[in-house]
Structure 1
Amino acid sequence: MSTTFLGTGIAIVTPFNADKSIDYDALKKIVDFNIENGVNYIVISGTTGESVTVSAEEKKEITKFIIKTTNNRVPLVLGIGGNDTTQVINEIKTTDFTGLSGILSVAPYYSKPTQEGFYQHFKAVSEICPVDIILYNVPGRTAKNMEVDTTIRLAKDFKNIVAVKEAAGEMSQYYQLLKKKPADFAVISGDDDLALGVTLAGGSGVISVIGQAMTKDFCSMIQLGLQGNAKEAFKLHYNLMEITDLIFSENNPSGIKAVLEILDLCKAEVRLPLVEATLGLKTKINTFLKNY
């Protein structure tokens, strides 16, 4: 199995100033904080990065900045996906992949394709993409589940499709993927609350949201899981359960940005249609962090 995407990856936020411009000072702080505390790789411009409200030009600038700041300390993955296959292919063709190890490509959303539609979409992406591809199945956002057999078919047919970030929230689906996958294909948890269980069952770790804030303990938990040390790993899991639930209780990334603001890593600013976490949620998060 490839070790490039093994352990804890984070779906990094895009920090904003009060005027909603990108806060590059905060972005540097978050990158450095995560690398120093054990993160294995970083995913740029995912859902948590508010990719749908970041312009194409901003995305390029953010990517360049993170590549420069990271300075080859950890692998980087760029989110490139959508429900217009031609547009996705055009973005891949016009992207400079210098400094990037792969892309995270979400299953087409809104259009609700058939399983054959999913397959043909990612076949077209695979044939043009010069770097490794992590598929991203998140039916809670896309409105359609990419089924296990479709993922396995893609894994077997295309060498540059090396992993799936699975976020259906169903352990049974994880187990089926782990049972049927090729030996060199990685199953990565996209559900923070299920990440340890998936890792212990044979998964390759997680692409996490909470991992970019509770970084040291979350990364330690996943490493213990990879080592098969369930007893020690679950101690950390139980300690982190409350904050993991809290950050998703309203919306993502408003919850994680509230945590990062309290940790003095960035402001809680988000772009519409998202709004900041409520005062009630911020109070609960602050109480947790004080007692942690």
Structure 2
Amino acid sequence: MGTIADEGTALAGVQRALAALREPASAGTVMDRGLRALCTHCGFSRAVLFRLEGSELVGEAIHFEQQPEWAAQLLLETRRTPMPMKHTVLETEMLRRRTAGLVLRPQDDPHAFKALTEPFLTRSYAAAPLVADDRVVGFVHADHYFEPDRHVDERDRLLLAAFSEGFAMALHRAVLIDRLARHRQALRRLIGEAGEVAEQIGSLDGGLARADEDLHASLRSAAASGGLPVDERLRSLLTPRELEVLELMASGATNAAIARRLVVSEQTAKTHVSHVLRKLRATNRAAAVSRYHAITNRDR
């Protein structure tokens, strides 16, 4: 009964560790949360996450229950000295079989990667592959370093295997969330740039200053005689987007407010305002709005 009770307690620890990963977050946050939860709820004192990059394992995140400065130094070491996944390294067989394993005496094992086990002062450790989309994307290593008389055992291997399965799913979800966020940002940027390019294509900017002067003269004449409708007068002078900007300026909107309303960058909104001022021969926003009201008879 004691063994069954111990197994139940261990599995409950894995459940608590994975529960810490339920809330959606960035990949980096999930990595840190996961390693911390693994140590807190599953009894390990050190945990390291490696990503599989080509045929090497490169350190990506680390958590020590003690001595965080040492942990940071060792994480840098795992990046300076990636673990090659070749037949002489124990993790290669774990990757091939996609199963967790134990390395009980790395200091004496010719297949242990001494370039990392020695600076880590490793006595024994458990390792498990992270499998997402039916492929191994990384590894988790964990041990009991800060308990000098304790070594990893079969129970630790099973715990790490169970945790790593859920951890891989949480990391996969986080990577997708990060990717979606990047795509959204890129799409917003493209929309803003496309709007700016469209306005530049449709604009009469550059080389038509004399025509603008003649147009102003004809507008003044038309306004006096009532020969042109109000909308036609403005459309003859400004692009559709500049008309929107002028309407917003007349309502008292700032450049930031115009940018939000038109879903463009604030710099693009500022450029539109500058075009409006130039075409209306206005020295500032107030003068532009005054001329807008004069043309549309809104101040009468």
| TM-score, length of structure 2 as denominator length | 0.26
Higher relative contact order (CA 8 A, sep 6+): 1
- Larger of the two Rg values belongs to structure: 2
TM-score, structure 1 as length reference: 0.26
Q: Which is richer in helix?
A: 2
